[in-house]
Amino acid sequence: MQQTSYIIGAGFSAPLGLPVRASFLERAKDMLFRHPERYAHHHSLIKEFDQIAKVGVYCSTDPLDIEEALAIIEMESFAKARRTKKPFVDLIQDTIEHYSRALEKIEGPVEEEWVSHPFGRHRRINLYGVFVASLLSLRLAQRAHPAGRREAETEFVAERQQPRARYALLTTNYDLVLERFAAAIHEYYHGARETRLMRPVLDEDADDDNGPTVVPLVKLHGSVDGDILLPATWARSTHRKAAQIWERGLALLSQSNHIRIIGHGLGAGDAHMRYLIKAAVLAAPHVKTIDVICLDPDGGVKRRYRSFFTFRNFRFVNADVLSYLKFINDWYARRSSDPNTLSTALLEEAHEEFMTRPGEAHGR
- At residue 168, φ and ψ (nearest 5 deg) are -140, 150
Q: Which of 76-80, 189-193, 282-286 has the highest mean pLDDT?
A: 189-193
Does a structural domain hold residue 104?
no
Q: Residue 171: is its pLDDT beyond 70?
A: yes
Q: Are 59 and 89 in the same domain? A: yes
Same domain for 166 and 276? Answer: yes
Task: For residues 27 and 51, state if they share a domain.
Answer: yes
Q: Please report whether residue 338 resides in a domain.
A: yes
Over the stretch 8-19, which tens digit does the pLDDT of each residue have? 999 999 999 999
DSSP 119-176: T-S-HHHHHHHHHHHHHTTEEEEEEEPPTT-SS-SEEEEEEE---SSEEEEEE---S-
**The domain containing residue 44 runs over which residues?**
21-99
Section 300-326 average pLDDT: 94
Q: Residue 358's pLDDT is what?
A: 74
- Residues 90 and 121 occupy one common structural domain: no
Do residues 264 and 170 both lie within one domain? Answer: yes
Residue that is last in its domain, among 72, 99, 126: 99
Q: Are both 214 and 333 inside the same structural domain?
A: yes
Q: Domain for residue 364, yes or no?
A: no
**Residue 189 reports pLDDT greater than 70:** yes
Examine residue 361 and state whether it is found in any structural domain, yes or no: no
Q: Are residues 237 and 344 in the same domain?
A: yes
Instruction: Specify the pLDDT at position 169.
Output: 97
Using alpha carbons, select from 326, 3, 18, 361 the residue that is nearest to residue 177. 18
pLDDT tens, residue by residue, 33-91: 999 999 999 998 888 777 666 565 456 556 556 666 666 566 555 544 455 567 778 88
Alpha helices in 157-268 (DSSP H): 177-188, 242-254
What single-letter amino acid sits at 358? Answer: P
The pLDDT of residue 149 is 55
Q: How many CB atoms lie within 10 A of CB 223?
A: 22
